[in-house]
Structure 1
């Protein structure tokens, strides 16, 4: 079997989870793999008593992760909320990996997600042959999480229709899942809980009902506070990508990552870093996740179609692709940014030239 393109968090960081478990000194809740304190260490990074280094998975406010972990110890579900690209899914996956040792019990929310994706479904061939039976029942990730005392993950909850969202109310409040066709119910065992994600670009699409909101504790994951914080996130994720993909390119110079992050931050906040020049904001989100993709794409370009050293020519196509989502409005905004900011900035002539060549 070939190498996996992307391992689940519990596979990729198996050694770290093992070391945290081996060095555990705090009380571990029922059916958790680690104590709440160790889960936070796994997410935020740190040095263990035996000197083992745990790498940070989330770079940001420690208190937010502490609140998220504390929520999951209680009977409240957790809603991770924020702009696209603020690591909601990433944090959700790593919380499930550290707490349950299994991040795969996941429901992807879409406009087409029905009740059967959250509660249970039926194998219709068996249903027709046998009628309603245990054998004909199709278990969902939520049902399996309830039976095994694990965390279920629901991605993009606000993209799911309101009537389907509300099927969660009984599960979250009563910790039971009625199956009236079989005249029985599934009762959740300790360790079960739900982590949902939602992005505020979807606000107003399918807002959660007040009854469902009460079952969730909401933690808002913000964009990185400082440019150095964002550069660190991009660098770590890019290095991880390089290790998996084995690209024939050198490690990206930190300066190239800094330039990509600077462009994204300035256009996102509508002003240059020094605050001296006001800028128009493009229609895209220009998130940290997109900055990671731009650098990864640049590495592929330099490795296969360049000299192996990441430079402005390799990066520009990805930057323009991320900025110019609307071919008319965003194109004007990008050209203005080139002429008013990039053209006169020391050491950025190569980005200006490469961009002008592509326009």
Structure 2
């Protein structure tokens, strides 16, 4: 074996070991076996530079069983047509905008789409109020710039620029949190598939396979609305909240199990009842009515999303593992629910107390939950 081959093998081994130890592996690492099995079984036409066909990408997101018996776990629980439209969009020259309220799995779907299509979900621009234009276009290595002047070698490629050059999927998270003038730097990229470099009198043209997935929500305060010119460059797919309580319970259970494994938490096979309670509380407060429709309740200021329910249950599972008997109980999730519901100490506290006394207290089989919530609310 040559020295170069040995070094490459050592680097690959080190990279694989690091990925296995990562607290939160990228989708292409966490589900590498499923992606390999799908690519091997996929005999349908693939767009240029795609790792698999649109059909296989959809199967990866929605889950199913391959002819050889390999089980593909669902990454998204919801209408199949939504995923099919999203995947089809990426196979065209239109960018994809995943829109929805917080907690509807926009980021999760975006990451898995990029992993399935390009095998790399890391070409990511995280949108914040401080995101600069360089994060979307390119920056400069100032040491090189001062020494040799403007040149390609002195440029720092953004994730979008790298995706354009390599024919891959770029991701922009929380697009509406990015300042409006930075948002609009995407217009030329999405319409002309070109990134001008005026300093060099040059440009980068996107190669086939490039596309962009952006996520946004219209619930948070302080967002920057998309210009009509930019919005026209996207095909918008709205991700809804889970349609039913059972669907939301399935989502929370699946994600808590995955997160629990990464944190070496013991499984909680008897915790399904508490997950149902958390989901029920969140849905009732979110919808403004009890599940039977008989009682109207006030909604707090928080979103009470599925993502927050996952966080509450994961925190409860950690409490039960480290300070309990390993069985998820009402007392383990009560504090997390209080923190999720009461965001405005003045108004939300009153809403929560009223909900406890008028709904939870009177519900059959919920006495332990009522006591636990009262104890942390006192």
Would you say same fold, with TM above 0.5? yes
- 1:167 corresponds to which residue? 185
1:114 aligns with 2:109: no
- 1:124 is displaced (CA, Å) by 1.4
Q: 2:55 maps to what in 1?
A: 37
Partner residue of 1:13 out of 25, 31, 41: 31
Paired residue for 1:299? 317
Aligned to 1:246: 264
Output the CA distance in 1 between the equivalents of 2:47 and 2:221: 35
Report Cα offsets for 1:141-195 as digits up to 9, x if no partner. 0000000000000000011111111110110011111111112111100000000
**Could you tell me the TM-score, scaled by structure 1's length?**
0.98
Return the alpha-carbon distance in structure 2 between the equivalents of residues 81 and 266 of structure 1. 23
- How far apart are the structure 2 equivalents of 1:226 and 1:63? 17
Number of aligned positions between the proteins: 359
**Deviating more after overlay: 200-209 vs 283-292:** 200-209
The residue aligned with 1:209 is 227
Question: Alignment partner of 1:185: what SS?
Answer: strand
Secondary structure of residue in 2 paired with 1:208: coil
CA shift, 1:353, in A, is 0.8
Segments of structure 1 that go 5 or more residues without pairing to the other structure are none
Shift of 1:213: 0.9
Do residues 356 (structure 1) and 352 (structure 2) align?
no
Match of residue 129 from structure 1: 147
Question: Which residue of 2 is the match for residue 282 of structure 1?
Answer: 300
* Equivalent in the alignment of 2:103: 85
Q: What displacement does 1:98 show?
A: 0.2
Stretch moving more, 282-291 or 302-311: 302-311
Does the CA-based 8 Å contact 1:151-1:195 persist in structure 2? yes
Deviation at 1:127, TM superposition (A): 1.2
Q: 1:139–1:234: structure 2 CA closer, same or farther, 3 Å change rule?
A: same
- Residues 139 and 263 (structure 1), Cα distance of their counterparts in 2 relative to 1, 3 Å cut: same
Runs of 5+ unmatched residues, structure 2: 1-16
Secondary structure, counterpart of 2:98 in structure 1: strand
Q: TM-score, normalised by structure 2?
A: 0.93
Runs of 4+ in structure 1 deviating by more than 3 angstroms, as ranges, are 248-252
Distance 2:37 2:267 in 1: 32
Residue 251 of structure 1: how far off its partner (Å): 3.5
